[in-house]
Structure 1
Amino acid sequence: MRNVRLFCINLLGLCFLFSNSQTEGCGDSGSLPPKPNISHFSDKQSLGLSWPRNQGASERNVYEIQISRTENHAIIYNRNVSISAGDSAQYTWTWLSDLPLECVDHSVRMRSFCHQTGPSPWSNWITNHGTKARDKFKIFPSQSVLKEGSNVMFCCVAPVGVNITSITLRGIPYPLLNIGDGVKAILVSNLAIPTNLIKILSVTCTDSAGKTSSVGKFVSCKFIT
């Protein structure tokens, strides 16, 4: 009986030590929300996210990341990621957007799952702000040269109170996508190089009053990244 009691005592002690080490291994990540920073790269249409590695955090930690568009935070992306920080004190992660980042606000928030147990609270939303139009349309992407064969979303940002009624490419109207207040877009698949003498694609936005604004884009089979 004495041996059984000693075994039970030792087992309880091991359980306590294991539980305590698990808690310490989580650092703050199991109870406090991460503190992310956001950066953007307009030429690549990507958002970069970084956040500090908490003391004692495990490489097994999982982070849930949400990305939203517009001021209403409409969720467009939700994913769990497990990232190695290596020797760095920071985790880094990159998200590629199908829509030019200038078109509308993009916000990010995240939370951690310590040892894949319960989640921490969500971090605050951090926002990469889109462009605001004042007196005339803004058309994106801003690059003057686009890649042949790519799928491209063109957006038109209108001044406050202006309603966009159409967006055309080379005079051809495409179905409008409602992105946010005063922002509409079109999706062009498999972008082709024009066969006419001047190799420029004209993108034109038109509002309900008939006012238009256009930009020209070159399409190239060679594209420098």
Structure 2
Amino acid sequence: MSSTSIPTLDDATMPAYRADPSDTPRAAIIVIQEIFGINAGIRRKCDSLAEAGYLAIAPDLFWRIRPGIELDPDVEAEMQRALELMGQFDQDQGIRDIEAAIRFVRGEGIGMVGAVGYCLGGRLAYMTAARTDVDASVGYYAVGIDGLLGEKHAIAKPLMLHIAGEDHFVDPAAQAAMHAGLDDHPKVTLHDYPGEDHGFATEFGARRSDAAARQADERTAAFFAEHLG
């Protein structure tokens, strides 16, 4: 588990957290952060994927605003700072930085590359599925997907979305629009978690809901095993 640097598509350098498996990677997975930066929870997600045999890399997508941001969603002032950062973040540029991370791991000779994201990262996982050649993507409690349904025709590789039924950032109308727009898509699978709120699969803190988190993570593991190897 270490820090690394990724060459970006505009000839800069992006910091990232890297977790390597003990043996040859079965594939690579790009871990896409929440609005709280590369904090302990995101690092733990990477470490768990490495334990499962994947090379896991979490690019610091807020680096163009300020590198090294780590925030705790259970601290109100830090939550407000995270929401401010989301407002400043250029999502289109973020996808280009994710694409750079995909190219980076492929440059290490790893053929199959997946992506998994949470919150803002869940939205970016959907955008990654639509805008890059990633091999498989998973989004947890993705925000604003109802506004991105016009891109669904570009999704050519498998995508799984975990939807929190009581998500205070994704209201019932938005969830219904996701189902109406994506249920018949041959590459997209939606899973609903009734009664669960945004952030239910976080590794640490008050938002975690153990049973739902375990179920979602088991589905994600099976999905990646099927589509990445």
If you compute each CA radius of gyration, which structure gives the higher value, 1 or 2? 1
TM-score range, shorter chain: under 0.3
Higher normalized strand content (fraction of residues): 1
Give the TM-score normalised by structure 2: 0.24
Higher normalized helix content (fraction of residues): 2
